[in-house]
Amino acid sequence: MKLRRITDWLQGQRAAIRLALRTMLAGLITFTLAHLLELPQGYWAVLTSVIVMQASVGGSLKAGLDRMLGTVAGAIWGVSVTLAIPHHDTLTLGLTLAVALTPLALVAALKPNYRVAPVTAIIVLLSTTGVQLGPVRYAIDRVLEIGLGCLVGFAVSLLVLPARAHGLLAEAAEEVILALRDLLELLLQETTRSPDGTALAATHLRLSQALSRVEGLVDEVKRERANRLTDTPDAEPFARNLRRLRHDLTAIGRTVTEPLPQPARQYLEEAMGDLRLAISDYLVGSAASIRGRRVPPSLESVHKALLAFRDSMDRLRQSGTLRDLGIDEVEQVFSLAFAVQQLRGDLGDLADRVAEHAKSSNTSQSG
Protein backbone atom coordinates (compact mmCIF):
# COMPACT_ATOMS: atom_id res chain seq x y z
CA MET A 1 0.00 0.00 0.00
CA LYS A 2 2.83 2.42 0.88
CA LEU A 3 4.58 1.62 -2.39
CA ARG A 4 1.36 2.39 -4.27
CA ARG A 5 1.06 5.74 -2.50
CA ILE A 6 4.64 6.62 -3.32
CA THR A 7 4.10 5.64 -6.95
CA ASP A 8 0.91 7.72 -7.16
CA TRP A 9 2.68 10.69 -5.59
CA LEU A 10 5.57 10.42 -8.04
CA GLN A 11 3.10 10.24 -10.94
CA GLY A 12 1.42 13.42 -9.71
CA GLN A 13 4.75 15.23 -9.35
CA ARG A 14 6.24 14.36 -12.72
CA ALA A 15 6.59 17.98 -13.81
CA ALA A 16 8.34 18.94 -10.58
CA ILE A 17 10.67 15.93 -10.80
CA ARG A 18 11.61 16.77 -14.40
CA LEU A 19 12.37 20.35 -13.38
CA ALA A 20 14.50 19.17 -10.47
CA LEU A 21 16.48 16.84 -12.75
CA ARG A 22 17.04 19.59 -15.33
CA THR A 23 18.15 22.00 -12.64
CA MET A 24 20.62 19.51 -11.17
CA LEU A 25 22.01 18.67 -14.60
CA ALA A 26 22.37 22.33 -15.60
CA GLY A 27 24.25 23.10 -12.39
CA LEU A 28 26.66 20.17 -12.86
CA ILE A 29 27.33 20.96 -16.53
CA THR A 30 27.95 24.62 -15.74
CA PHE A 31 30.26 23.70 -12.84
CA THR A 32 32.29 21.44 -15.13
CA LEU A 33 32.57 24.01 -17.91
CA ALA A 34 33.50 26.78 -15.49
CA HIS A 35 36.42 24.70 -14.22
CA LEU A 36 37.50 23.67 -17.72
CA LEU A 37 37.43 27.31 -18.82
CA GLU A 38 39.18 28.35 -15.59
CA LEU A 39 36.67 31.07 -14.84
CA PRO A 40 37.82 32.99 -11.74
CA GLN A 41 34.46 32.80 -9.94
CA GLY A 42 32.58 30.00 -11.63
CA TYR A 43 29.92 29.87 -8.93
CA TRP A 44 28.25 32.87 -10.61
CA ALA A 45 27.75 30.75 -13.70
CA VAL A 46 26.39 27.83 -11.66
CA LEU A 47 23.99 30.10 -9.76
CA THR A 48 22.77 31.62 -13.02
CA SER A 49 22.09 28.25 -14.66
CA VAL A 50 19.98 27.25 -11.66
CA ILE A 51 18.11 30.58 -11.62
CA VAL A 52 17.46 30.42 -15.36
CA MET A 53 15.95 26.93 -15.18
CA GLN A 54 12.15 27.30 -15.29
CA ALA A 55 9.22 24.94 -15.73
CA SER A 56 8.97 25.57 -19.49
CA VAL A 57 11.35 26.35 -22.33
CA GLY A 58 9.70 29.75 -22.78
CA GLY A 59 10.14 30.53 -19.09
CA SER A 60 13.84 29.59 -19.21
CA LEU A 61 14.33 31.74 -22.30
CA LYS A 62 12.78 34.75 -20.57
CA ALA A 63 14.74 34.22 -17.36
CA GLY A 64 18.01 33.87 -19.29
CA LEU A 65 17.45 36.95 -21.45
CA ASP A 66 16.37 39.04 -18.46
CA ARG A 67 19.40 38.03 -16.43
CA MET A 68 21.80 38.58 -19.33
CA LEU A 69 20.39 41.99 -20.24
CA GLY A 70 20.39 43.12 -16.62
CA THR A 71 23.94 41.90 -16.10
CA VAL A 72 25.29 43.67 -19.18
CA ALA A 73 23.48 46.92 -18.35
CA GLY A 74 24.62 46.84 -14.72
CA ALA A 75 28.20 46.00 -15.68
CA ILE A 76 28.48 48.81 -18.22
CA TRP A 77 27.03 51.41 -15.89
CA GLY A 78 28.96 50.13 -12.86
CA VAL A 79 32.26 50.29 -14.71
CA SER A 80 31.48 53.76 -16.08
CA VAL A 81 30.67 55.19 -12.65
CA THR A 82 33.63 53.43 -11.01
CA LEU A 83 36.08 54.90 -13.53
CA ALA A 84 34.48 58.35 -13.64
CA ILE A 85 34.19 59.12 -9.90
CA PRO A 86 37.23 58.77 -7.59
CA HIS A 87 36.31 56.95 -4.36
CA HIS A 88 39.21 56.56 -1.97
CA ASP A 89 37.33 56.88 1.30
CA THR A 90 34.00 55.87 2.77
CA LEU A 91 32.26 59.16 1.98
CA THR A 92 33.21 59.22 -1.71
CA LEU A 93 32.50 55.50 -2.01
CA GLY A 94 29.00 56.11 -0.65
CA LEU A 95 28.50 58.93 -3.15
CA THR A 96 29.68 56.73 -6.01
CA LEU A 97 27.34 53.99 -4.88
CA ALA A 98 24.40 56.43 -4.88
CA VAL A 99 25.23 57.57 -8.41
CA ALA A 100 25.54 53.97 -9.57
CA LEU A 101 22.31 52.78 -7.95
CA THR A 102 19.87 55.64 -8.55
CA PRO A 103 19.32 55.31 -12.33
CA LEU A 104 19.53 51.52 -12.29
CA ALA A 105 17.03 51.26 -9.45
CA LEU A 106 14.65 53.48 -11.43
CA VAL A 107 15.09 51.35 -14.56
CA ALA A 108 14.49 48.18 -12.55
CA ALA A 109 11.33 49.68 -11.04
CA LEU A 110 10.01 50.59 -14.50
CA LYS A 111 11.22 47.41 -16.23
CA PRO A 112 11.41 44.44 -13.83
CA ASN A 113 13.41 42.38 -16.34
CA TYR A 114 16.37 44.67 -15.50
CA ARG A 115 16.16 44.05 -11.76
CA VAL A 116 19.55 42.31 -11.69
CA ALA A 117 21.26 45.43 -13.09
CA PRO A 118 21.61 47.26 -9.72
CA VAL A 119 23.01 44.08 -8.16
CA THR A 120 25.68 43.78 -10.86
CA ALA A 121 26.66 47.43 -10.47
CA ILE A 122 27.05 46.98 -6.71
CA ILE A 123 29.25 43.91 -7.22
CA VAL A 124 31.47 45.74 -9.71
CA LEU A 125 31.82 48.73 -7.40
CA LEU A 126 32.20 47.12 -3.97
CA SER A 127 33.78 43.72 -4.62
CA THR A 128 37.29 43.42 -3.21
CA THR A 129 38.18 41.16 -6.13
CA GLY A 130 37.04 43.89 -8.47
CA VAL A 131 39.38 46.35 -6.77
CA GLN A 132 42.30 43.96 -7.29
CA LEU A 133 41.56 43.11 -10.93
CA GLY A 134 40.18 46.47 -11.98
CA PRO A 135 36.51 47.21 -12.78
CA VAL A 136 36.73 46.49 -16.52
CA ARG A 137 38.36 43.08 -16.17
CA TYR A 138 36.08 42.15 -13.29
CA ALA A 139 32.94 43.21 -15.18
CA ILE A 140 33.96 41.21 -18.26
CA ASP A 141 34.52 38.13 -16.10
CA ARG A 142 31.05 38.52 -14.56
CA VAL A 143 29.36 38.90 -17.95
CA LEU A 144 31.14 35.80 -19.29
CA GLU A 145 30.17 33.77 -16.23
CA ILE A 146 26.55 34.91 -16.35
CA GLY A 147 26.47 34.30 -20.09
CA LEU A 148 27.74 30.75 -19.63
CA GLY A 149 25.10 30.05 -16.99
CA CYS A 150 22.33 31.45 -19.21
CA LEU A 151 23.50 29.44 -22.21
CA VAL A 152 23.75 26.15 -20.33
CA GLY A 153 20.46 26.70 -18.51
CA PHE A 154 18.56 27.35 -21.72
CA ALA A 155 20.25 24.51 -23.60
CA VAL A 156 19.36 22.00 -20.87
CA SER A 157 15.79 23.32 -20.75
CA LEU A 158 15.49 22.90 -24.51
CA LEU A 159 17.19 19.50 -24.88
CA VAL A 160 16.71 17.55 -21.63
CA LEU A 161 13.16 16.42 -20.83
CA PRO A 162 11.83 19.64 -22.37
CA ALA A 163 8.51 21.00 -21.16
CA ARG A 164 6.76 23.24 -23.67
CA ALA A 165 4.66 26.04 -22.27
CA HIS A 166 1.68 24.91 -24.36
CA GLY A 167 1.66 21.52 -22.61
CA LEU A 168 1.84 23.16 -19.19
CA LEU A 169 -0.92 25.53 -20.26
CA ALA A 170 -3.12 22.55 -21.13
CA GLU A 171 -2.55 21.06 -17.67
CA ALA A 172 -3.46 24.36 -16.01
CA ALA A 173 -6.52 24.73 -18.26
CA GLU A 174 -7.66 21.25 -17.23
CA GLU A 175 -7.46 22.35 -13.57
CA VAL A 176 -9.52 25.45 -14.38
CA ILE A 177 -12.21 23.45 -16.17
CA LEU A 178 -12.54 20.96 -13.33
CA ALA A 179 -12.77 23.84 -10.84
CA LEU A 180 -15.48 25.41 -13.02
CA ARG A 181 -17.36 22.12 -12.93
CA ASP A 182 -17.16 22.01 -9.12
CA LEU A 183 -18.36 25.61 -8.94
CA LEU A 184 -21.32 24.80 -11.20
CA GLU A 185 -22.27 21.86 -8.98
CA LEU A 186 -22.18 24.04 -5.86
CA LEU A 187 -24.30 26.76 -7.46
CA LEU A 188 -27.06 24.65 -9.03
CA GLN A 189 -27.17 21.47 -7.00
CA GLU A 190 -29.81 22.75 -4.61
CA THR A 191 -32.38 25.32 -5.72
CA THR A 192 -34.28 25.51 -2.42
CA ARG A 193 -31.42 26.97 -0.38
CA SER A 194 -28.37 29.15 -0.78
CA PRO A 195 -25.05 27.53 -1.81
CA ASP A 196 -22.50 26.61 0.87
CA GLY A 197 -20.46 29.78 1.35
CA THR A 198 -17.37 28.01 2.72
CA ALA A 199 -17.24 25.54 -0.16
CA LEU A 200 -17.80 28.36 -2.66
CA ALA A 201 -14.91 30.37 -1.22
CA ALA A 202 -12.56 27.38 -1.38
CA THR A 203 -13.58 26.62 -4.97
CA HIS A 204 -13.16 30.25 -6.06
CA LEU A 205 -9.67 30.28 -4.50
CA ARG A 206 -8.71 27.10 -6.33
CA LEU A 207 -10.11 28.54 -9.55
CA SER A 208 -8.20 31.81 -9.12
CA GLN A 209 -4.92 29.98 -8.57
CA ALA A 210 -5.41 27.81 -11.64
CA LEU A 211 -6.35 30.84 -13.76
CA SER A 212 -3.24 32.66 -12.54
CA ARG A 213 -1.15 29.74 -13.77
CA VAL A 214 -2.86 29.96 -17.15
CA GLU A 215 -2.24 33.71 -17.38
CA GLY A 216 1.45 33.27 -16.61
CA LEU A 217 1.86 30.51 -19.17
CA VAL A 218 0.18 32.55 -21.93
CA ASP A 219 3.21 34.85 -22.02
CA GLU A 220 5.57 31.87 -22.12
CA VAL A 221 3.65 30.38 -25.06
CA LYS A 222 3.89 33.72 -26.87
CA ARG A 223 7.62 33.81 -26.24
CA GLU A 224 8.11 30.29 -27.59
CA ARG A 225 6.04 31.19 -30.66
CA ALA A 226 7.98 34.42 -31.21
CA ASN A 227 11.29 32.52 -31.10
CA ARG A 228 9.96 29.68 -33.29
CA LEU A 229 10.33 27.12 -30.53
CA THR A 230 6.78 25.90 -31.16
CA ASP A 231 4.09 26.13 -33.82
CA THR A 232 1.15 25.84 -31.43
CA PRO A 233 -1.71 28.37 -31.76
CA ASP A 234 -1.91 31.59 -29.78
CA ALA A 235 -2.85 30.78 -26.17
CA GLU A 236 -4.60 34.08 -25.40
CA PRO A 237 -8.01 32.98 -26.83
CA PHE A 238 -7.93 29.91 -24.56
CA ALA A 239 -7.19 32.02 -21.48
CA ARG A 240 -9.84 34.57 -22.49
CA ASN A 241 -12.44 31.81 -22.90
CA LEU A 242 -11.68 30.41 -19.43
CA ARG A 243 -12.01 33.89 -17.91
CA ARG A 244 -15.40 34.31 -19.60
CA LEU A 245 -16.61 30.94 -18.34
CA ARG A 246 -15.68 31.98 -14.83
CA HIS A 247 -17.51 35.27 -15.33
CA ASP A 248 -20.59 33.36 -16.54
CA LEU A 249 -20.66 31.15 -13.45
CA THR A 250 -20.03 34.15 -11.21
CA ALA A 251 -23.05 35.83 -12.80
CA ILE A 252 -25.11 32.70 -12.19
CA GLY A 253 -23.83 32.64 -8.63
CA ARG A 254 -25.14 36.15 -8.01
CA THR A 255 -28.62 35.04 -9.08
CA VAL A 256 -28.72 32.03 -6.73
CA THR A 257 -27.31 33.74 -3.64
CA GLU A 258 -30.89 33.46 -2.46
CA PRO A 259 -33.15 30.57 -3.57
CA LEU A 260 -35.36 31.25 -6.57
CA PRO A 261 -38.93 32.24 -5.62
CA GLN A 262 -41.23 29.24 -5.32
CA PRO A 263 -43.57 30.19 -8.21
CA ALA A 264 -40.60 30.37 -10.59
CA ARG A 265 -38.86 27.34 -9.13
CA GLN A 266 -41.73 25.04 -9.96
CA TYR A 267 -41.24 25.85 -13.64
CA LEU A 268 -37.42 25.93 -13.70
CA GLU A 269 -36.22 23.42 -11.13
CA GLU A 270 -36.28 20.32 -13.32
CA ALA A 271 -34.75 22.11 -16.30
CA MET A 272 -32.00 23.57 -14.11
CA GLY A 273 -31.20 20.12 -12.76
CA ASP A 274 -30.90 18.66 -16.24
CA LEU A 275 -28.82 21.63 -17.34
CA ARG A 276 -26.47 21.21 -14.38
CA LEU A 277 -25.91 17.54 -15.21
CA ALA A 278 -25.37 18.17 -18.92
CA ILE A 279 -22.89 21.02 -18.45
CA SER A 280 -21.10 19.20 -15.64
CA ASP A 281 -20.61 16.12 -17.83
CA TYR A 282 -19.45 18.30 -20.70
CA LEU A 283 -16.85 20.09 -18.57
CA VAL A 284 -15.52 16.79 -17.23
CA GLY A 285 -15.35 15.48 -20.81
CA SER A 286 -13.56 18.62 -21.97
CA ALA A 287 -10.97 18.28 -19.22
CA ALA A 288 -10.40 14.65 -20.23
CA SER A 289 -10.07 15.70 -23.89
CA ILE A 290 -7.39 18.22 -22.99
CA ARG A 291 -5.52 15.66 -20.93
CA GLY A 292 -5.74 13.04 -23.68
CA ARG A 293 -5.25 15.55 -26.52
CA ARG A 294 -8.51 14.43 -28.10
CA VAL A 295 -11.31 16.24 -29.89
CA PRO A 296 -13.88 17.83 -27.55
CA PRO A 297 -17.01 15.94 -26.47
CA SER A 298 -20.30 16.57 -28.23
CA LEU A 299 -22.37 19.56 -27.12
CA GLU A 300 -25.62 17.88 -28.13
CA SER A 301 -26.78 17.07 -24.59
CA VAL A 302 -25.93 20.62 -23.47
CA HIS A 303 -27.91 22.09 -26.35
CA LYS A 304 -30.90 19.90 -25.48
CA ALA A 305 -30.75 20.95 -21.83
CA LEU A 306 -30.44 24.61 -22.78
CA LEU A 307 -33.41 24.31 -25.12
CA ALA A 308 -35.45 22.69 -22.35
CA PHE A 309 -34.47 25.50 -19.99
CA ARG A 310 -35.52 28.11 -22.54
CA ASP A 311 -38.85 26.34 -23.03
CA SER A 312 -39.36 26.36 -19.26
CA MET A 313 -38.65 30.09 -19.19
CA ASP A 314 -41.18 30.60 -21.97
CA ARG A 315 -43.83 28.69 -20.02
CA LEU A 316 -43.04 30.72 -16.92
CA ARG A 317 -43.50 34.00 -18.79
CA GLN A 318 -46.71 32.85 -20.46
CA SER A 319 -48.19 31.62 -17.18
CA GLY A 320 -48.43 35.15 -15.78
CA THR A 321 -46.70 34.00 -12.59
CA LEU A 322 -44.07 36.71 -12.87
CA ARG A 323 -46.73 39.41 -12.36
CA ASP A 324 -47.18 38.17 -8.79
CA LEU A 325 -43.48 38.50 -7.96
CA GLY A 326 -41.59 41.51 -6.66
CA ILE A 327 -39.21 43.51 -8.83
CA ASP A 328 -36.13 41.96 -7.23
CA GLU A 329 -37.49 38.44 -7.75
CA VAL A 330 -38.30 39.10 -11.41
CA GLU A 331 -34.83 40.56 -11.91
CA GLN A 332 -33.33 37.45 -10.27
CA VAL A 333 -35.13 35.12 -12.69
CA PHE A 334 -34.23 37.08 -15.83
CA SER A 335 -30.62 37.58 -14.70
CA LEU A 336 -30.33 33.81 -14.37
CA ALA A 337 -31.73 33.31 -17.87
CA PHE A 338 -29.31 35.88 -19.33
CA ALA A 339 -26.30 34.34 -17.56
CA VAL A 340 -27.25 30.87 -18.83
CA GLN A 341 -27.51 32.24 -22.37
CA GLN A 342 -24.00 33.75 -22.08
CA LEU A 343 -22.69 30.44 -20.78
CA ARG A 344 -24.08 28.69 -23.85
CA GLY A 345 -21.93 30.72 -26.22
CA ASP A 346 -18.78 30.38 -24.15
CA LEU A 347 -19.16 26.61 -23.92
CA GLY A 348 -19.16 26.56 -27.72
CA ASP A 349 -15.95 28.59 -27.71
CA LEU A 350 -14.45 26.11 -25.24
CA ALA A 351 -15.11 23.31 -27.74
CA ASP A 352 -13.18 25.27 -30.38
CA ARG A 353 -10.23 25.81 -28.03
CA VAL A 354 -10.08 22.13 -27.06
CA ALA A 355 -10.21 21.17 -30.74
CA GLU A 356 -7.32 23.55 -31.49
CA HIS A 357 -5.28 21.99 -28.70
CA ALA A 358 -5.92 18.47 -30.01
CA LYS A 359 -5.04 19.50 -33.57
CA SER A 360 -1.79 21.24 -32.57
CA SER A 361 -0.74 18.31 -30.37
CA ASN A 362 -1.36 15.79 -33.16
CA THR A 363 0.50 17.98 -35.66
CA SER A 364 3.53 18.31 -33.40
CA GLN A 365 3.60 14.57 -32.74
CA SER A 366 3.36 13.68 -36.44
CA GLY A 367 6.02 16.24 -37.31
Amino acid at the residue 256: V
Domains in the chain, start-ordered, CATH in brackets? 2-159 (no CATH), 167-366 (1.20.58)
* pLDDT given for residue 232 in this prediction: 76
Q: In whole angstroms, what is the distance from residue 129 CA to residue 140 CA?
A: 13
CB 225 within 8 A of CB 57: no
Q: How far is CA 223 from CA 63, 129, 143, 296, in A?
A: 11, 37, 24, 27
Greatest Cα-to-Cα distance within the chain, rounded to the nearest angstrom: 92
Read off the pLDDT of residues 330-350 as tens digits, 9 standing for 90 and up: 888 889 889 998 998 999 999
Average pLDDT for 15-38: 88
User: What DSSP assignment string belongs to 229-282?
Assistant: S--PPPSHHHHHHHHHHHHHHHHHHHHTSSPPPHHHHHHHHHHHHHHHHHHHHH
Residue 40 DSSP code = T
Q: In whole angstroms, what is the distance from residue 264 CA to residue 142 CA?
A: 72
CB 150 within 8 A of CB 48: yes
Q: From its phi and psi, is residue 194 left (phi > 0), alpha (psi between -120 and 50) or beta? A: beta
CB 329 within 8 A of CB 264: yes
* pLDDT given for residue 367 in this prediction: 41
* pLDDT given for residue 129 in this prediction: 57
Read off the pLDDT of residues 141-167 as tens digits, 9 standing for 90 and up: 888 999 999 999 888 888 887 777 778
* pLDDT given for residue 39 in this prediction: 86
pTM: 0.73
Lowest mean pLDDT, pick from 24-28, 160-164, 242-246: 160-164
Read off the pLDDT of residues 270-313 as tens digits, 9 standing for 90 and up: 888 899 999 999 999 999 998 888 899 999 999 999 999 999 98
Lowest mean pLDDT, pick from 31-35, 54-58, 196-200, 262-266: 54-58
Q: In whole angstroms, what is the distance from residue 352 CA to residue 61 CA?
A: 29
